Copies of this chain bind each other. A is one copy, B any other.
């Protein structure tokens, strides 16, 4: 509930009470009813409480996603009743609705240009929007290929399949425009309606993500089955009809289009999940009041002292591409080369994961040694970052624990049995350590240039705050903890990470100046250099570990250990759940580590 609304509401209450007070004995029942009706209408439109409005819109969005999920589940059964047209038609309708809403929003915003709009500086930084634009461009190319494919087969394909990529292309262009110019907006007007619009956009993108993941997983699974049948392991009948239409291509490029699509899928998938995360932050920001004193310090992107991290990272990246190519070639050849390929993959992964664990542990130890205070400012996008890291790890952890159980209980013993066990355990440990490192980095306060403690950050609500009327740096730093212990104690009663803006109202100069010195520049900056190197190294390793599964290096399908224990269906289901989450995890880590790099 915003301040304006509350004051209004307040005034209304007082008026109401006064009115009752003066007229309680004389007023007629009809007058009272009229007043009630007016109050009811008013509270339905304006004073709708925030918690309820959130629930209202979140439930709407969730139901959209579930309708899509129901259609997808029906599709996987390949029955005659529900066809791809139905799902794509539904998604297209949602996209059109989102387009209308975005159009309305932008037009209304233009008209009210004289209002000073509030912005959340943390949401959608420039480089995230830049990365998204890149992914969007690749998505557009994918749409172009799709349109080309459908032009070739237009005689036997439904118009919906044709309309979908066209609407998707328009949707992508408009959405990127919207993200560039409006993602930081903090909406304070027509809140309930806007909540519906934004959550609609969030869940439309999530549904597009689910659809992408499903198509990709189905395609990979069909390819996998065909390979197994070719090698004589299994006897699946793969319906080629499902993939290809029942008529001849009228142009010459159909095959090129359809095979190029597979390389573009991963980018399209990442694009949609990222957009929905960004829009979710926008949704959380609706009705919020932003602290304008917040820390807008320029990021420290100096690259002095960067050496070992980028170097090792480049080595990791190069060897990843080598491993990927060798793996994909060896996998197709024979059973022996397949076993070699899998062993190679595990050994390579063990090396890279060990180094990542080590880097993460060193980073955490540096933080322990530094003991800088935590930044407890309110920041929905950081909170979301943390929750997403944790929840997207779950997929990969489940997969790894399944592998561990499978290896331990396995009766067969291929050469890679124990390396696979070490790999799975390291994968679990690596995510554990990396999450801790990223969370700690995001929540640490940034040290000042010159290696000073970060606690003097202007506006950051730590123990030491700067008096509002004084100008940094280094004079006017006060110790409120000793000065106003009572007040401090009271403010601490709300949970630390959420009382970000508590201080801005109670800020006043104090009498105990803290002696501050500047002559220790070398020590913390050496630590900072190590942290920067670690971050760059982890960044490149995560890119590597994204590339491998995204382009088809998935030994979990090929090693056969888990399949024996869980059966083909269960294990494919686990992988179809875990691999997309893992891909998202890697991408999200890359984004978070970039943020860490700018902060360290």
- Give A residues with C-beta under 8 Å from B: 1-3, 6-7, 9-10, 12-14, 17-18, 20-21, 24, 36, 39-40, 42-44, 47, 49-52, 55-56, 58-59, 62-63, 66-67, 69-71, 73-74, 76-77, 79, 81-82, 288-291, 365, 368-369, 371, 373-374, 378, 386, 390, 393-394, 397-398, 401-402, 404-406, 409-411, 428, 432, 435-436, 439-440, 443, 453, 455, 463, 479, 481, 486-502, 504-506, 514-517, 519-520, 564-567, 569-570, 573-574
Contact A47/B497 with A386-B55, A436-B55 known, Cβ cut-off 8 Å: no
Q: Which residue of B lies closest to A383 (CB)?
A: B51
By a CB distance below 8 angstroms, the chain B residues around A39 are 369, 371
What's the least CB distance linking A341 to chain B, in Å? 25
Partner of A49, one of B374, B394, B514: B374
Contact between A51 and B405 (Cβ–Cβ < 8 Å)? no
5 residue pairs of the A-B complex, CB under 8 angstroms, read A51-B443, A59-B435, A63-B401, A73-B570, A494-B500
Contact between A504 and B500 (Cβ–Cβ < 8 Å)? no
Contact between B371 and A47 (Cβ–Cβ < 8 Å)? yes
By a CB distance below 8 angstroms, the chain B residues around A566 are 73-74, 77
Bound-complex Cα distance A573 to B404 (A): 24
By a CB distance below 8 angstroms, the chain B residues around A501 are 490-491, 493-494, 499
Partner of A10, one of B9, B77, B481: B481
Q: Which residue of B lies closest to A56 (CB)?
A: B436
What's the least CB distance linking A528 to chain B, in Å? 16
Contact between B369 and A76 (Cβ–Cβ < 8 Å)? no
Contact between A17 and B499 (Cβ–Cβ < 8 Å)? no
Bound-complex Cα distance A405 to B81 (A): 10
Contact between B62 and A397 (Cβ–Cβ < 8 Å)? yes
Contact between A520 and B10 (Cβ–Cβ < 8 Å)? no
What's the least CB distance linking A47 to chain B, in Å? 7
Bound-complex Cα distance A49 to B497 (A): 11
Contact between A66 and B398 (Cβ–Cβ < 8 Å)? yes
**What 14 additional pairs, Cβ within 8 angstroms, besides A52-B440, A55-B439, A66-B397?**
A24-B520, A36-B369, A49-B374, A51-B443, A52-B443, A62-B394, A69-B398, A70-B405, A71-B405, A73-B574, A77-B567, A288-B495, A491-B502, A505-B506
Contact A487/B514 with A371-B47, A566-B74 known, Cβ cut-off 8 Å: no
Copies of this chain, complex-wide, total 2
Contact between A499 and B494 (Cβ–Cβ < 8 Å)? yes
Contact between A82 and B409 (Cβ–Cβ < 8 Å)? yes
What's the least CB distance linking A85 to chain B, in Å? 12
Contact between A59 and B393 (Cβ–Cβ < 8 Å)? yes
Contact between A368 and B402 (Cβ–Cβ < 8 Å)? no
Q: Which residue of B lies closest to A499 (CB)?
A: B494
Contact between A498 and B498 (Cβ–Cβ < 8 Å)? yes
Contact between B490 and A504 (Cβ–Cβ < 8 Å)? yes
Contact between B455 and A13 (Cβ–Cβ < 8 Å)? yes
Partner of A515, one of B10, B17, B50, B401: B17
Contact between B9 and A371 (Cβ–Cβ < 8 Å)? yes
Partner of A517, one of B21, B51, B453, B500: B21
By a CB distance below 8 angstroms, the chain B residues around A43 are 368-369, 371
Contact between B3 and A374 (Cβ–Cβ < 8 Å)? no
By a CB distance below 8 angstroms, the chain B residues around A50 are 374, 496-497
What's the least CB distance linking A438 to chain B, in Å? 9
Contact between B40 and A365 (Cβ–Cβ < 8 Å)? yes
Contact A49/B443 with A63-B397, A436-B55 known, Cβ cut-off 8 Å: yes
What's the least CB distance linking A22 to chain B, in Å? 9
Bound-complex Cα distance A288 to B497 (A): 11
Q: Which residue of B lies closest to A294 (CB)?
A: B493
Bound-complex Cα distance A463 to B406 (A): 59
By a CB distance below 8 angstroms, the chain B residues around A490 are 501-502, 504-506
Bound-complex Cα distance A397 to B81 (A): 21
Q: Which residue of B lies closest to A512 (CB)?
A: B14
Q: Which residue of B lies closest to A432 (CB)?
A: B59
Interface centre among A67, A410, A489, A494 (most CB of B within 10 A): A494
Bound-complex Cα distance A7 to B492 (A): 12
What's the least CB distance linking A425 to chain B, in Å? 11
By a CB distance below 8 angstroms, the chain B residues around A63 are 397, 401, 428, 432
Contact between A21 and B439 (Cβ–Cβ < 8 Å)? no
By a CB distance below 8 angstroms, the chain B residues around A3 are 488-489, 492
By a CB distance below 8 angstroms, the chain B residues around A390 are 55, 58-59, 62
Q: Which residue of B lies closest to A372 (CB)?
A: B13
What's the least CB distance linking A464 to chain B, in Å? 8
Bound-complex Cα distance A566 to B490 (A): 57
Bound-complex Cα distance A486 to B508 (A): 14
Contact A489/B514 with A39-B369, A374-B1 known, Cβ cut-off 8 Å: no
Bound-complex Cα distance A502 to B428 (A): 40
By a CB distance below 8 angstroms, the chain B residues around A288 are 495
Bound-complex Cα distance A406 to B75 (A): 11
Partner of A520, one of B20, B291, B443: B20
Bound-complex Cα distance A430 to B453 (A): 55
